[in-house]
Structures are given as C-alpha cells and as structure tokens.
Amino acid sequence: MISAAVSRHAVLSLVGRAEARVRFPDLGFADPWAEAMLASLDVDPAGFDARALRTSTVRTMAVDRLVRDYVARNPLGLVIALDAGLCTRFSRVDNGTLRWVELDPPHLAEFKCAHRLGHASDRHAVARCCSIACTGWMDCLRGAGDVPTLLIAEGALVRQPPEVVDAFLTRASVRLAPGTELILDHEASPPLRIPPRSCACLELPSLDGSVSRYPRLRPFCEGDASTALGRALRDASRMPRLYQHGGAPPVLHLRFA
C-alpha cells in the first residue's frame, strides 16, 4: 500500500521510470529497479498523464547524464540525494565504488526502510533529515575530508517557498567544502538564475524586486567538463522549452567555489 508520506510528484517520477520501457521506447530508457518497486506498491499507472510521465523521464535522463559524468570524474566519490523520495538512480549509475546517501523526511525514510525500497548495497544508505536546510547533515560532511561530493536536489526545491530555498543555499554556502557540486531543478517563478556575465554567481530574485546572491555558487562550466557532460547540460537547459507545458523545471549544475 502506498503511504501518504510519499508525494504525488515522487510517485509520478517512479511511474515514468517504470513505464518508460513500454510507453516511451523511443527514449531508450529502462529502469528494472523502478519497475520492481512500482510492482510492490499499490499504484495504478493508468491514473497518470502520459505527457507528464514523459517529461519527468526526460528530465531524469538529463540528470542521469550529469551524475554519470561526475562518477566518471570521481569514481570513489560521495553522492547525497536530498529529499530523494522513490529514487532509483543509484542502481542506474553505480560503478561499484560509489557511495550514495538518500536524505528523506523521517516518515518517508521509515516507509522506504520498512518496505525495503532501496538498492541492496552497503554503499547505499537512507537517512532521516527534518529539512534540506537542516545544518546537521551539512556539518556531518565536514568529517568527509577531501572526499569529492555531489548534492542532487531533483524535485527537493521545486515546491519549497523562497525562504526555504534561501536558507538551504545560504547554510550550504557557509558549510560545504570548495569543489562540492550541486545539481538542482527549480520553479520558473521566482527563478533561480545565473546572470549572463563573467564570474556570475547564483541569484534568487524575489517578487518585491530584491535579489539574494550566493557568491560561492558558480556554474559548472562546460570548459571544465567532458563532451558528454556538455551535451547533458545543453539537453537539460533545452528540455523546459521542449516540454514547457509538461511542468519540467530547468536544471542547473553548480560548484561551490
């Protein structure tokens, strides 16, 4: 039985991944772990809009490419998936040495552990976190030393009020080590943005005209990346235009200076 702890957004993403092999064969995407997870839950895939499912899957594929490039550059790295929900990405990108932690609200973490909704590996953990802006997990990363770290906030910021987004970005900027990478998607209004000027940092404009700036958060430049990553970044930025009525927010790949 699906729990009320699991958001419809998380279920939609799972259904899209699980149904992609059959419903969207042209995408060339398959996720056996998602298929098995969906089969274990009381969910009717027919109740979800096909366009929304396809849009979600296309965004998943774009983020997957960004994560795979990170793993190729950092085979012994650490990935923290924030508010991960019914995530199955570890099963798709694992290289045999990657360490992966999913941070979820307590009720959802308990649901996932009780139903064993996770990839069976001692390098994959599900942990409780009261909020993505909580400083506890950020402070724990200080003990990671020089371990390369990637944060993934896919969907974690999409429906959050601006004050929560600002709290997360501000606290992370104070605590996280230089070189830490961040992949996130966000709402179109108010938009997180990177102005088109040299040395620009991430900005969060508000409806009253003020702008919050995060000087340590800079774009992961394509010049620093492989050809594959450059294509993934272009695909991720193009996707909202291609599916502008499907609710797919833009994707940003950032690095803490």
Q: Over range 142-157, report the average pLDDT.
A: 88
Query: pTM surpassing 0.85?
Result: yes
Q: Dihedrals φ, ψ of 152, to 5°?
A: -120, 120
Distance, in Å, from the CA atom of 86 to the CA atom of 35, rounded to the nearest integer, reads 12
Distance, in Å, from the CA atom of 183 to the CA atom of 79, rounded to the nearest integer, reads 11
Distance, in Å, from the CA atom of 19 to the CA atom of 16, rounded to the nearest integer, reads 5
Question: Residue 114: enclosing H or E segment and its boundaries?
Answer: helix 106-114
Q: What would the CATH number be for the domain defined by 64-256? A: 3.40.50
Mean pLDDT of the residues in the chain: 85
CA distances from 195 to 106, 202, 205, 224, 244 (A): 37, 8, 11, 19, 21
User: Do β-strands 251-256 and 217-219 pair in parallel, antiparallel, or remain unpaired?
Assistant: antiparallel
pLDDT 10s digits, 214-225: 999 999 875 444
pLDDT 10s digits, 196-210: 776 789 999 888 889
